[in-house]
Amino acid sequence: SGGRGPPGPRSMPAASTLARGCILALLCVRSGAVRDEVELDGEATSALVANSTATLVDSPPWKPESPPADKNNFIFVEIYQLKGANWKGMKRAVQGKDIADEEQKEEEESLAEGVTSASTTLIYHTEVTICPRDQFSDQKQRELEKMINEVYKYQKVKEDWWRSSGDAHCEALSYGSGGVEHYNQTFSKAMSGINNADLEKVWKYVYGTSDLSAKEGLDAVTFDMCSDYWSGDNYHPIKRNCNFFTSTILKCGFELSQMLPPIGPSSTRKVWTCEC
């Protein structure tokens, strides 16, 4: 598991804005119908998928100032590849069709014909993981601080490092069509708040530290009227998805960089304001 990181775009082909948006349609979608219908330009989307082949870098190549490394909690972002997600399924999703039912039919037809299903390499889900400092050994703490001090926005945590982090008990924040999930996480394991994440395809990045707990970070973006903003009913696979939630929590909750590793067009939406 692990290995090379998920790809991101080297260049953006001359596709319509709508086609760019539709590449996000399966991001963080659980099995079931999507509420909003969007017309899909299949040829443009296919071209976009075919041309998005760059590889994630460990960290951005610039370093004007590192994030704080000495606060109570380490803040991570976890990236999961989604199972059964491809641009054909994306078209079904934005048209409001049941993804699970359609994928099962396609899989059965594919097996009967002796062929494999379409590639899933462009669809990713992100979550924020908050780990108290004292959950790591003194040596692990120093190593994390070194990672943070060497970067500007984020640093990839090698798989053998996080797999060997023992029973570090953390908390994770995730957003999907069921709303916000706040659950306990063991850092050495692959766990996700959605049910279609591929737990064999996971990458973890450290962003910095914060004195805010997971609940306090979440409260910072769900206070008052903002609670409805992140409800399951307001989930949208393009406009308001898991990756936009991750960026918002990072920026508005923990005051860290909102930049996500280059997971394709899903990382292009910026958080301009912390007000709902």
Least confident of 39-48, 74-83, 144-153, 213-222: 39-48
Q: Which whole number is the average pLDDT over 35-44?
A: 34
Do residues 276 and 225 make contact, with C-beta atoms less than 8 angstroms apart? yes
Residue type present at position 120: T
Beta-carbon contacts of residue 111 (< 8 Å; ≥ 6 apart): none
Q: What is the pLDDT of residues 132-174, one digit of tens each?
A: 999 999 999 999 999 999 877 899 999 999 999 989 999 999 9
Number of separate domains in the chain: 1
Q: Which whole number is the average pLDDT over 8-31?
A: 42
Q: What is the model's pLDDT at position 122?
A: 66
Burial status of residue 223 (CB atoms within 10 A of its CB: 0-12, 13-18, 19 or more): exposed
Asked if residue 1 is part of any domain, the answer here is no
User: Can you give the residue range of the structural domain that contains 122?
Assistant: 7-267
Asked if residue 274 is part of any domain, the answer here is no
Say if residue 202's pLDDT is above 90: yes
| Model confidence, pTM | 0.69
Asked if residue 217 is part of any domain, the answer here is yes
Asked if residue 275 is part of any domain, the answer here is no
- What the block records as the tokens of 97 is 């069709």
- What the block records as the tokens of 192 is 């996700």
Asked if residue 276 is part of any domain, the answer here is no
Q: What is the model's pLDDT at position 140?
A: 97
Asked if residue 201 is part of any domain, the answer here is yes
Do residues 91 and 231 make contact, with C-beta atoms less than 8 angstroms apart? no
Say if residue 205's pLDDT is above 60: yes
Asked if residue 173 is part of any domain, the answer here is yes
Distance CA 201, CA 138 (A): 29
Beta-carbon contacts of residue 178 (< 8 Å; ≥ 6 apart): 30, 194, 232
Asked if residue 194 is part of any domain, the answer here is yes
